[in-house]
Structure formats: structure tokens, C-alpha cells
Structure 1
Amino acid sequence: MSTGRAVVIGAGTAGLVAARVLAGHFEAVTVIERDTLPNTPTPRSGVPQGHHVHGLLALGAEVLECFFPGLRAELAEAGAPVWDWGEGLCAVLPKGTPPPVPMGMPIQAFSRPLLEHVLRRRVAALEPVTLRDGLAVTGLRTAGPGSVTGVRVMGAEGEDEIAADLVVDASGRSSHLPRWLAGLGLPSPRTTTVDARIGYASRTYLYPEGQSRPPWMGLLEPLRAPDFHKGCYAIQIENNTLHVTLHGAGGTPLPHGDDDFLAYAQTLRGPIAETIAVLPPASPVRRYARTVNRKTAYHRLPRWPEGLIALGDSVCTFNPAYGQGMTVAALEARLLEQMLRSKRTRTPLDEQSFQKRLARITAFSWLMATTPDRAWEQSQPTWHVKAANAFMDRLIDTVPHDPRLYTTFSRLFHMTAGPLALADPRLLSRVLIGPRPGRNPRTPTA
């Protein structure tokens, strides 16, 4: 039963998927975006990380396909390749590179602007949805400290108010929600940050006609404290393009231009340097350093206003190196759908309960991102952080020698399996024993 009006702040991935859900439950859904939205799949200023490699985990792809049937085919028609993670990934790990293993885990590679363009077009076509760009939300419209009734906005025509029965903050890392809640007399929520001081430098390369391509679809060389402070992630995406992001942890200086980009790549152990050395660049080098993990504990506030929820990076942001953000946003939208469907007719959404359940969704992804990142922080890590990293290091060191463990870890990484997948005594014993001697992992090639 569709009733009332909803407002979504932010037209990024989280906001668009939330709008898709709300369109099935509200008579009108207004998506408000500060940027002027492009009509083509091009980066925009409000998403500076859009210039860098993005990954959609397998679970996230499944959820988005449910919300947007035919999405994978539409992206493929736009040139986004689909490949099996186990067969198409070259993972240059500290103790070697796993050989190709069919996993039945389809992955699709695309640029962030292409995904947002397709999602935005799909959402804008929904009858209840209106996209309003070039409009900044300046505050909440309220009917007392316990109730949000819309938003205040500022655009080219001046200030205005938009009434709503539900406001969704999906404005991302730049969210002003803590300040707005303080204006309602609510206490400041606790914020936790973990900063590995990781930076990115990215650019794209073209495959000229007739140019041979590497045998891999994706190349991953991860960071690991304290020894591996440089890495990369490269994927083949739409428009016959190779998208390359070089990583540096712990404040490692990043390249700025053509010569030092290749020089940086040549310091890595994998084949990225010899791959890009023969390709013409299709973009300048772009850098990004806002990679701090940040979690805001809205779920612990003793009071929460009616008519307001927050999701996506507005609540919990992850180091983008782990590729979790878009998938977690999709899972949060699925939670919203479940709660809206389960509510009794004319009974409002329990907003505080939503924030508590959302916190449970983000808990495991937060642990997966912050455990290795804490090892880069200058302060002495606690014993349990040391123990967790020691276990993960042993696991990753064993992966090149054990196809079954590689498959299990990949499913854990892509969130299609939970942490209990590693509780299998046979797999656990393999991790504890560590890499088997006498097995030489393959050497990666371009």
C-alpha cells in the first residue's frame, strides 16, 4: 500500500537503491542531489572516488539484480565484461599467486560512473520518483525534537522546504546528520575511525585494435602491514579500457604523472608495469586519499526522531580498497525493503529499530576492513588485533597452495559465505599448519 512522501538525500549508489525500494511503498519519492547530474556515464565532482577502480562483490550484484532485473545484461550491453572470479583474477599474494580455479562466481567489471548512470536511468523511470539535482539540503524540517517532517534546501532559486513522511540520509562521507541531530537536542553519536593512511593514484589505458590483452580480467596485489606498503588493483572495464589503481599505505608517496606512475608500478611484484608500458593512457593520473574507515553509532542513541533514517556511507564508511561499500549499501536497502513490507498497514516504519539492524549488517564488513587497517596505525595494536591479523596472514599465505581454501576465502570476501565457513576443521587445520613446503606457486605474467 503506497502512502505518503519520501525524500532521499544523495543520488549515489546508496541513495538510488534506497529510492528504488521506497518507490514501491510511497506515492512520491524525491531524490535530492547537490551535483548537477550528467546525462552520460562520466565522473562528477561529488564522487571524487569515481575516478578509481570500483568493485561490486558477488552478493551485492545478486541483490542489485533482484532490485533491477536485467541490470547485469544492461551493463554487459554497455561493454562491462562478466567473468568468473576464480578463473579471471590474478591475485599476487605475499606467498605466491593461486592458479586459476573455476568457482562459479560471476563478477562484472565496470566503472563507477557507468553503474551510477544505469541505476540513475532505471530509478528516474519509476513513476513515483523525481530526481532534483543542483540542490543542496541545508537542514531538517521538524515538528518538534522528536519528529522530522522534511528537509530545507538551497538551490538557484533560493531557499525552500520539501515536506516528507520519511527522510533518508544517503549523502555519504560528507553527511551533516550529526550536526542536524544536535540541532534537535540529541546527544552526539560516538564516532569510531581507523585510518591506515592509504592513498590511491589511478588512470585508465586503452587497448588499441589488435593489441593483445593479458590473460587475466582483474589483477590484485594487496597491501599488508608492515612489509607490503605498495599494491594495485586493475580491471578490464567497458570501452576496451584497463582501469588501474595503485595503492600506497602508511603515508607512502603516490605518483603524480606519466613517468612516476609507471615507475611506481615497476616497484610492484606483479605484471602491472609490463602490461601498461605498451598501452596508451586514456586519462590523467588522479589521486585520492579519503580512505579512513568511519562508523557513527546512531544505533546507540537513546532517542531517535521519527521520520528519519540514515544508511550507506552516511553511517559507516569503509576503506574502498576492500570493495565493500556498494554491496553493504545494497544490503541496507534490502533491510529497508524487508521492514517496509513487514510493517502493518498504516503503521510507520520503526526508524530506531532500522538503525539497530543496520548496525548488525555493517558489523562483519567493518571487522574485515579495520582489522588489517589497524596494523598500519602508529599506535600499538591490541593483542586481539595482532592475533586476528596473524590468522589472516597465515590464511592468505596458504591460499596459493590450496584451491579449496582459495574458493572458501573468495566466497567470504564476496560475502556469499559467512565467517563460519572457515570453521570447517579441515580448512582450519590447513590455515594453522600454513603453506605446505615444496609447492611452488605460479609466477604471474602479463
Structure 2
Amino acid sequence: MPMGTGVRHAVVIGAGMAGLAAARVLADSFEAVTVVERDTLPSAPGPRAGVPQGHHVHGLLALGAEVFEGYFPGLRAELQQAGAPVWDWGEGLRAVLPGGSPPPVPMDMPTQTFSRPLLEHVLRRRVRALEPVTVRDGLTVTGLRTTGPGKVVGVRVKDGDSEDEIAADLVVDASGRSSRLPRWLAALGLPDPRKTTVDAQIGYASRTYSCPAGQSLPSWMGLLEPLRAPDFPRGCYAIRIEDDLLHVTLHAGGGTQPPHGDDDFLAFAKTLRGPIADTITSLTPASAVRRYARTLNQKTAYHRLPRWPDGLIALGDSVCTFNPAYGQGMTVAALEARLLEQMLRSRRTRTPLDGHAFQKRLARVTAFSWLMATIPDRAWAQSHPAWPVKAGNWFMNRLIDTVPHDPKVYTAFSSLFHMTAGPLTLADPRVLSRVLIGPRPSGNLRTTTA
């Protein structure tokens, strides 16, 4: 789109989860939306270079699934038709916790599991079908187009050796962890935004398994064995996904290295307390072992800059990234899109979006998820954590140790984890007292089996 047109146009940098969710929202308010993606996007579900974490287990929390279903009606059914199973979290999950494994508890909390490439493919197809939206892949954004330091009016792009400009009334940076926005803002005379990083130095190794003839997949739909500093430096998360595959991610922290190859993968699994080793021994590997180590939590305080250019916002991993082990990223992207929708609807017709106000409100949207990820990760990252971190970890560990012994606490914690309930859930005297009293083991604890 050449400069100088009068069309109300939004440009989204990045066709990942945050970019697709933003494009869906913008399509209701702008006459044209262009999604610019550096990768050449696959025509079928499959990994791509810009999403190296796509080889690993992903989870869409219950709240995120609800928000995406609202923006893309029938999404769950479409994913289910593609083979993604739906199951109740309380009944289908086998959690191997430091204090034991909770028995199955019906929670009426539908959970759907799939590979990241499948979800992204279905959402990308839905977004492409929106009349105002154009997706341009294989195109790199090299900078912002401005009229002075206070207003962004588009982006500069490069396609091979060819350079061009795309005009925009609003530019949305959803380019992820590799965002170059701080550099672009510095060119406009803005100070370098403060970054906060919590790196637990956790590594992953993942692969998928198929079920040979005569064998059967495990009765559980998901298996969770979380890490906990300092005594549990190894864990896993495994889920049933499309094509009757089992997707397994092994986690390593505290200086432990994730496995590299076939033999290492099984040997690592055998060191875990849960049934994952027994399960995969009878299955057939359907992929190579893939490793991933960019698991740091990082937030960029754009909301604290003294000024912010008009015509620009940032969201998704460009602003706040989480250790993927906690499964919050895609749900937070959905909540940020919902915030964008709310702010677009509340403004007067054709009044520009207040980008500075958006960044401030976005910081509040991500605050609780940031705490949920960084409280346990600081226990790995800091040899002598401050007392608030110690207190937070003590409470979270007490809560998780109570889960196997108390269905009410298990349900409350699951609602908190899936973000269908806020932190005030834990202030309920009936829940808080049970956590403070601590676990009271009973004879009905289930033992994990394959």
C-alpha cells in the first residue's frame, strides 16, 4: 500500500499467536489490516524457523481457549475435527507432584490439546479469510516510518534486495522475543526501556510418538511432572495431540542438561518418578529429538517510558515473555488482544488509539502471569532470594503439596492455573486454611501407572 492513501490501515509485525489475535481484533475496526511475517509461511501445519519452540509441547489454558473461541467461533470443533482431543482437566491429567498424585476429580474444565503448528495453521487460515486482512510473508520489517519523533506512520520493509514502505495509521509490534523495537525507539530519541529478566536456565527436549498396531496409548490425556528447586531438577509434560500422537517434552533445570538423542531421551525419562518411561518404551518415535533453551522470563517496561509515539503499540513476547513451562504465553496473547479490542471500542470513532495508555494497561494484564512464572523460577536463578521470593515460594510449594490430598484445593489451584479464577481464589478462607494447615495425607492417594 503506497504512502499517502486515505485508507485506515493497521500493520501487524509478526504472524505468531499474538499477531494473529491482534489482526483478528483489528479487522473489526480498520478498513485494511496487513500482517507482515519474516518467515515463508507453510501451507499446511508444520514448524517454521521463527517459532523454534513449536517443536515442543504447548498448552492453551481454559481462559485462553474461551477467548479464542469468542474471536473464532467453532475453533474448538475445527481443531477437534483435525484430531485434537478434548478432555476434562481434572479427569484426564495425571499430575506427579512432589507430595504425590491427586486422584481424578471431575472439574468441568474442558481442555483441548494439539501441536502448536496445528493451532497456528488453523488460526492463520481463519485470519486470512477475514476480508480486511492481507498476510504478506517472506517480508522483513527493517524500521519504522515516522513524521518526526512523535508519530509512527508506517513501516519500512525488505524483500530480498527490494526495499519498500507500507503506510499505516497503527503499527503493532508482535514480532516476539527477537523484537527490534527498543532499537527503533532509540532512533526516535526515546531512552532505552528497562528490562527485567529472570532466567532459571531450564532446558527442554521433545519428541512425538505414535502407537504401533496392537498397542494402545495411555489412559491419561496429559501427564505433568513439574520441576521444583532445588530437589526436583527433572520433569516432563506429555499430551495426546492430533493424529493419535503422544507429544513429550522433558524439562531439565538446576544445571541438569536435557537429553540429546534417542538413547539419552529414554534414559532421562527413566530417572523421573512418573510413568513416562514405561509409556514411551512401548511406542514408536515419530520425530527426532529437539532441544530448546530460550526459556527466560523477560519484560520490557515500555509503560514506564516518559513518552510514546502515536500510531504504535507492542504486545505479546515483544513486551513480556514467560518460561514456556507454565503454558501462559498463548493465553496472555489472547488477553492482550481482548484489551486491544476494549480500547478500540471505547474510543471515539476514528480517534487514534492511545498507545501509551495501552502499554500501561497491558502491563497490568501481564502482571499476575509474570508472578506465577517468576516466583518458582527465581528459586532456580537466585542462590539467596529476597524474603518476598522466599515467602511466595513457601506458599506456592505448600499449596502444591496440599493438592494431592485435597480435591477442593486441587480444583482451586487448577482454576488459578487456567486463569479462570484470579488470585483471590486462594483468599477463600476454606481454601486458605487448608493450605496453611498443610497436607494431611490419607490412604486414598492414587499411584501413577502408565
Q: What's 2:118 paired with?
A: 114
**Residue 159 of structure 1: how far off its partner (Å):** 0.8
CA distance in 2, matches of 1:312, 1:257: 32
1:13 to 14, 17, 21: 17
CA distance in 1, matches of 2:397, 2:415: 17
1:72 to 73, 76, 80: 76
For residues 158-307 of structure 1, the aligned pairs below 5 Å read 158-307=162-311
TM superposition outliers: structure 1 runs of 4+ over 3 Å: 437-440
After superposition, what is the alpha-carbon deviation per residue over 1:390-442, rounded to whole angstroms, capped at 9, x for unaligned? 11111100100000110000000000000000111121111111111444521
Count of residues in Structure 1 that have an aligned counterpart in Structure 2: 445
Q: What's 1:364 paired with?
A: 368
**Residue 251 of structure 1: how far off its partner (Å):** 2.8
CA distance in 1, matches of 2:262, 2:161: 43
The residue identity in structure 2 corresponding to 1:273 is A
Q: What's 1:56 paired with?
A: 60
TM-score w.r.t. length of structure 1: 0.99
The residue identity in structure 2 corresponding to 1:77 is Q
**Residue 380 of structure 1: how far off its partner (Å):** 1.3
Q: What's 2:135 paired with?
A: 131
Higher mean alpha-carbon deviation, 120-129 vs 155-164, is at 155-164
2:384 is equivalent to residue 380 of structure 1: yes
**Residue 346 of structure 1: how far off its partner (Å):** 2.1
The residue identity in structure 2 corresponding to 1:164 is A
SS at match of 2:243: coil
Mapped contact 1:3–1:25 kept (Cα < 8 A)? no
2:85 is equivalent to residue 81 of structure 1: yes
For residues 276-355 of structure 1, the aligned pairs below 5 Å read 276-355=280-359
Mapped contact 1:170–1:313 kept (Cα < 8 A)? yes
SS at match of 2:149: coil
Mapped contact 1:371–1:389 kept (Cα < 8 A)? yes
The residue identity in structure 1 corresponding to 2:11 is V
CA distance in 1, matches of 2:306, 2:274: 50
Q: What's 1:33 paired with?
A: 37
After superposition, what is the alpha-carbon deviation per residue over 1:187-222, rounded to whole angstroms, capped at 9, x for unaligned? 111000000000000000001244222110000000
CA distance in 2, matches of 1:379, 1:399: 27
CA distance in 1, matches of 2:7, 2:29: 7
After superposition, what is the alpha-carbon deviation per residue over 1:248-292, rounded to whole angstroms, capped at 9, x for unaligned? 012311111111100000000000000000101000000000000
**Residue 157 of structure 1: how far off its partner (Å):** 5.0
SS at match of 2:94: strand
1:409 to 394, 398, 413: 413
Q: What's 1:150 paired with?
A: 154
Mapped contact 1:14–1:311 kept (Cα < 8 A)? yes
Unaligned runs of 5+ in 1: none
Identity of aligned residues (%): 80
Aligned CA RMSD, in angstroms, stands at 1.0
2:445 is equivalent to residue 441 of structure 1: yes
